[in-house]
Amino acid sequence: MNKTIVYLDNNATTKVHPLVVDAMLPYFKELYFNPGATYQEANLIKNVLDKSRAAIAKFLGAKDADEIIFTGSATESNNLAIQGALKINSSRKHIITTEVEHPSVYSQCKYLEDQGCEVTYLSVSPDGRLDIKELINAIRPDTAIVSIMLANNETGVVFPVESISRVVKLTDDKIIFHTDATQAVGKMNIALNGSFNYVDMLSLSGHKIYAPKGVGVLYWRKQSERAPLIVGGHQEKGLRAGTENIPYIVALGKAIELIDRNMEKYRNEVGDLRDQLEGFIEANIPDVIINGKNCFRLDNTISVSFKGIEGESIVYALNDHGICVSTGSACSSGDLSLSRVIKSIRLPDEYSHGTIRISLGLDTTDLEIEIVKKVLPRVVETLRKISPFYDL
Ligand code: PMP
């Protein structure tokens, strides 16, 4: 691909960092041994596996490295978390989650409803907030798990998981509290034995933090009861059987090390660029709504709705200029119906269909933002001129 692109879809995936590629390559070549074998060469790989696990545990503030279970994706982690909680609380069949979760939680809950579970989907307010009273009222004696994401992939809105998990666990400490932190990791502090000490389970994904696709983690607090997730081997303390994907696990360990160093950059540089672009859009394009603007949000995400035009048309038109953004979650793109997350914040119809997500990354430059500033107003103006739904 020779086209110069301005990549602003980092909530969908990130480019693997060159240092991460360098770190993983030897494990495809000379260091290919199975960590479960007994010879010295294999022991070396086992040490590498332990090192990655320890680095991730330290980064998340986990007490014990054995609380880190490597998986193949955050989707897998989310599935295993919810199904694991139902196994442990086997007499309970009620799940609490939100209307705005990623499909790996939301669609799974829909599936579990078909299997006989009952699910409460908490609503969000028009600016994207959760109502804690609604959550408290939803807790029942048969609630097995509460699964509430830390940061939303479409709007970037951060839910107060620290206080929500505390309320849940102090109400009934048998309820397992899970959070999908896939979008939040590396962008905000997570201290599993500090402010997040009521969280029992947490999911994350490698490819949102400059590691490859196909590796994830489920943090599962040791003091809560744990049950096997995938059986058939001793790996991952018997919780998730299957030979470990060493190159990708090494990559994740390296990515965590790099993201840890860059946390301030997210807050300052990425946050400044986001605010600059968002301010520009509001000042220079009429009839726009910035979703979640008054909420605590990820520093890299803009969810913006343009009146009278279609989000898909904006995405295609921007892409003609080499700019990559999306209408919402990549996991539901191709589906032209309105995003569930956007529906839940109840925007006026003439705005909701014109929603796009712009998500910056650690490598986004001033120049790239300048390009968007030049192109976006023209794209919106042109589309509005031909739109039957926008009254000029
Ligand atoms: N949860 C959230 C909030 C996400 O944004 C994503 C990725 N779009 C996932 C889960 C799934 O991650 P993975 O691609 O690793 O399965």
Q: 232: phi > 0 → left, psi -120 to 50 → alpha, else beta; which?
A: left
Catalytic: 109? no
What is the number of the ligand 1 atom nearest to the C-alpha of 151?
3
Q: Residue 80's pLDDT is what?
A: 95
Could you tell me the distance, in angstroms and rounded to a whole number, from the CA of residue 216 to the centre of ligand 1? 9
Could you tell me the distance, in angstroms and rounded to a whole number, from the CA of residue 293 to the centre of ligand 1? 23
Nearest of 70, 72, 66, 122 to residue 96 by alpha carbon: 122
149-174: per-residue pLDDT in tens?
Answer: 999 999 999 999 999 999 999 999 99
pLDDT category, 391, cuts 50, 70, 90?
A: confident
Note the Cα 84 to chain centre separation in Å: 20
What is the number of the ligand 1 atom nearest to the C-alpha of 152?
3
What is the number of the ligand 1 atom nearest to the C-alpha of 153?
5
* pTM > 0.85: yes or no: yes
215-226: per-residue pLDDT in tens?
Answer: 999 999 997 789
Residue in 73, 205, 333 to alter for ligand 1 test, most ligand atoms within 8 A of Cβ: 205
What is the number of the ligand 1 atom nearest to the C-alpha of 206?
15
279-308: per-residue pLDDT in tens?
Answer: 999 999 999 999 999 999 999 999 999 999
| Pocket (CB within 6 angstroms of ligand 1) | 73-75, 102, 104, 149, 153, 180, 182-183, 205, 216, 329-331
How many angstroms separate the CA atoms of 120 and 135, rounded? 9
Give nearest CA residue, ligand 1 atom 16: 75
Could you tell me the distance, in angstroms and rounded to a whole number, from the CA of residue 214 to the centre of ligand 1? 11
Give nearest CA residue, ligand 1 atom 12: 74
Q: Does pLDDT of 331 surpass 70?
A: no
